[in-house]
């Protein structure tokens, strides 16, 4: 158990819908990272937040957005969902970008778009 929690574990929804994935980092970790793992795209970095602010951006679609709240939990919002958005979405956390780069991954949320 990495200490990172993600809810829900599984999510099934229809095309065009909007969903919110939630992540709680390890106690004391200030950075949260979101990743998408799909069969055709592999594992891709989406976005990083550090202490509430966006720190780094990867291949995140405009239909996707994220935020980190004052209590440091993070949410990834996916809207206008398409079949190709079906994937395993991971959240990871680390103590901070300047202190350590060791990231601890959550168990993931499996999103199925039908």
Partner 1 sequence: AQTVTQSQPEMSVQEAETVTLSCTYDTSESDYYLFWYKQPPSRQMILVIRQEAYKQQNATENRFSVNFQKAAKSFSLKISDSQLGDAAMYFCAYRRSANNTNAGKSTFGDGTTLTVKP
How many Cα atoms occupy the beta-carbon half-sphere of 106 within 13 Å?
30
**Does residue number 83 form part of the binding site for partner 1 (CB under 8 A)?**
no
**Does residue number 40 form part of the binding site for partner 1 (CB under 8 A)?**
no
Extract long-range pairs of 47-55: CB within 8 Å, 24+ residues apart: 47/76, 48/97, 49/74, 50/96, 50/97, 51/96, 55/31, 55/97
Q: How many residues does the chain have?
A: 114
**Does residue number 56 form part of the binding site for partner 1 (CB under 8 A)?**
yes
Name which position in 30, 68, 90, 93 contacts partner 1 (CB under 8 A): 90
Residue with tokens 């994937």: 87
79: its two tokens: 């809207």
**Does residue number 39 form part of the binding site for partner 1 (CB under 8 A)?**
no
**Does residue number 101 form part of the binding site for partner 1 (CB under 8 A)?**
yes
**Does residue number 45 form part of the binding site for partner 1 (CB under 8 A)?**
yes
Name which position in 11, 23, 78, 92 contacts partner 1 (CB under 8 A): 92
Task: Name the site residues for partner 1 (rule: CB under 8 A).
Answer: 2, 31, 33, 35, 42-45, 48, 50, 55-58, 88, 90, 92, 97-98, 101-105, 107-108
């Amino acid at each position: 158990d990495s200490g990172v929690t993600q809810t829900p574990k599984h999510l099934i929804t229809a095309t065009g819908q909007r969903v919110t994935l939630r992540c709680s980092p390890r106690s004391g970790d200030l950075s949260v990272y979101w990743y998408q793992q799909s069969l055709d795209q592999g594992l891709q970095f989406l976005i990083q937040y550090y202490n509430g602010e966006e720190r780094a951006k990867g291949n995140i679609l405009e239909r996707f957005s994220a935020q980190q709240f004052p209590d440091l939990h993070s949410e990834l919002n996916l809207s206008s969902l398409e079949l190709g958005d079906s994937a395993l979405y991971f959240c990871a956390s680390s103590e901070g970008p300047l202190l350590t780069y060791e990231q601890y991954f959550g168990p993931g949320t499996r999103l199925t778009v039908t």
